[in-house]
């Protein structure tokens, strides 16, 4: 454990960021798992729209880099086509 007050604060901030980032990544993983089970075309378009939204939010939060976000969107569209 850190000895200085500022380092203790940094540890707390890093833990909060880690949890937030993990939440974004978990949502994306769950999305890809859910997409594999979808059969209805109406549901597919809705999933694609929501998937893009989730990936864009993760990119905006700097969890994913923009090229990886683009790659994930492409993979999602390919799965749903």
pLDDT tens readout for residues 23-52:
999 999 999 999 988 888 888 889 999 999
Of the listed ranges 11-25, 33-47, 66-80, the least confidently predicted one is 33-47
* Structural domain includes residue 54: yes
Domain containing 61 equals 25-80
pLDDT at 62: 94
What single string gives the DSSP state of each residue in 21-70?
HHHHHHHHHHHHHHHTT---HHHHHHHHHHHHHHHHHHHHTTSS-HHHHH
pTM of the model: 0.84
Report the number of distinct structural domains present in the chain. 1
* Structural domain includes residue 17: no
* Structural domain includes residue 10: no
Confidence of residue 81 (pLDDT cuts 50, 70, 90): confident
- What average pLDDT does the structure give for the chain? 93
């Amino acid at each position: 454990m850190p000895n200085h007050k500022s380092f203790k604060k940094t540890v707390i901030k890093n833990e909060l960021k880690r949890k937030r980032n993990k939440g974004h990544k978990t949502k994306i993983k769950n999305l890809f798992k859910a997409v594999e089970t979808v059969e209805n075309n109406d549901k597919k378009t809705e999933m694609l729209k929501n998937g893009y939204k989730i990936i864009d939010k993760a990119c905006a939060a700097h969890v994913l880099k923009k090229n990886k976000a683009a790659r994930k969107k492409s993979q999602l569209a390919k799965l749903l086509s």
